[in-house]
Amino acid sequence: MKTFDGVTSVKLANNATLTFSNKASQASSNADRIQLTGSNGNVFLGDKNVVTVGELVLGSAGTLNIDQAVGASTGGRLVVSGNVTGFTGVATDITGGTINVVGGTLIANTQINGAGIVSASLLGTIGGTGSINMPINVFGSAILSPGDPASNGGIGRLNVGALTMDGNLSLNLLDAGTTPNPHYDQVGVTGIVDINNTTLSLTLAPGFTANPGDVFKILLNDSTDGVFGQFAQGTSITVGAAQFNIVYNGDYDGSGAPNDIGLIFVVPEPGTLAIMLGGFATLVGLRRTRRRN
């Protein structure tokens, strides 16, 4: 076990690999930092590793693999400019810490628990099919994109805490099945939803099918928490030849509260239906930029 005490800075560059195993610990003061820069730096966190009151900074070419539980990062920060894969084991606890996704990709396929926040900016992307039980902020050019690009055509449901964003919500649609996954992307929210001026980006998968009146329940908000604001597109969106009305006051989870967001497919213009059903259509604007990890 390697323990860093005092004011310590550890920097890895150019294909360096830092491996923690068997309850390794790092960073015991606010000034402590592990930083990966350059090309192809990797950090592997195994069982019950702890980063306390410090900072783990992942450079743009680095990869952080978390395959089992990671302990509390009390007051610390995980700053992502590269890619975080994993979160596939048991729950990861970020107690009082924060995760900043700055131009990188965070894929959460299990639970991330914490009292801090997860924030994305500068083309940072948050995705996955698990649960991030923390408030989520997605600002500017950052992207919230549920699903894992490595499976099921990237389609899936991601659960998050309170959601505040003015960035981009990127969704895949295949058809209006009775359940979202594997038919379309969905976000589940526990807390308030503030999406004012968020850009909604839709990708219609090859073979997309829908009937007039079909509902895509893209965001389900639990309890009676409110939905504030609207997407930048307002109350309708057109993707190629496909047209959707946007509903901000649905009750799609049966909670009795009109705080869910849905897309209702409407009749396309005559002569364009065959074109729509025949291929691949993408929303004008932001295309999904999630990288395969």
Whether residue 17 is predicted with pLDDT greater than 70 in this model: the reply is: no
Candidate from 3-7, 9-13, 189-193 with smallest mean pLDDT:
3-7
Lowest mean pLDDT among 21-35, 119-133, 150-164: 21-35
Q: 182: cis peptide before it, omega within 30°?
A: yes
CA distances (Å), 121 to each of 30, 77, 103, in order?
23, 15, 6
Residue pLDDT, tens place only, 61-74: 556 655 444 544 44
| Residue among 178, 176, 228, 226 nearest 202 (CA) | 176
CA distances in angstroms from 6 to 28, 44, 80, 227, 254, listed in the order given: 7, 23, 24, 45, 53
Domain locations in the chain?
Answer: 9-282
Q: Return d(Cα 141, Cα 199) in angstroms, integer.
A: 10
pLDDT digits (tens, 9 = 90+) for 28-59: 454 555 665 555 555 655 544 555 545 566 55
Distance, CA of 164 to CA of 118 (rounded, Å): 11
pTM of the model: 0.74
